[in-house]
Amino acid sequence: MEKVVTKVNQKQQKSDFYYWQKQSYQKRLEALEQIRREYHQYQYQYDVEPRFQRIYTIIKR
């Protein structure tokens, strides 16, 4: 496979939204899963465990 690079003026650049709208649900889920895997690998690289973010609410008394 040969890599192709095309220079495009920023004003002429198409939105990624249209590209992903044309893709099947399966391809979208595969891309999402790939992003999730890369994110977790990044966290493990810096000794950070993936977990839910805690949200604190401060109530004025």
pLDDT digits (tens, 9 = 90+) for 4-60: 988 888 887 778 888 889 999 999 999 999 998 888 787 666 666 656 667 777 777
Is residue 40 assigned to a domain? Answer: yes
Is residue 3 assigned to a domain? Answer: no
Q: Which domain holds residue 31?
A: 15-45
Count of C-beta atoms within a 10 Å radius of residue 38 = 10
Sign of dihedral through CA atoms 19, 20, 25, 31? Answer: positive
Is residue 60 assigned to a domain? Answer: no
Is residue 50 assigned to a domain? Answer: no
Please state the domain count of the chain: 1
Does pTM surpass 0.75?
no
Is residue 2 assigned to a domain? Answer: no
Is residue 23 assigned to a domain? Answer: yes
List all residues 6 or more positions away from 51 whose beta carbon is below 8 Å from its beta carbon.
none
Is residue 54 assigned to a domain? Answer: no
Is residue 9 assigned to a domain? Answer: no
d(CA 47, CA 4): 37
* Torsion-angle region of 47 (φ positive above 0: left; ψ -120 to 50: alpha; else: beta): left
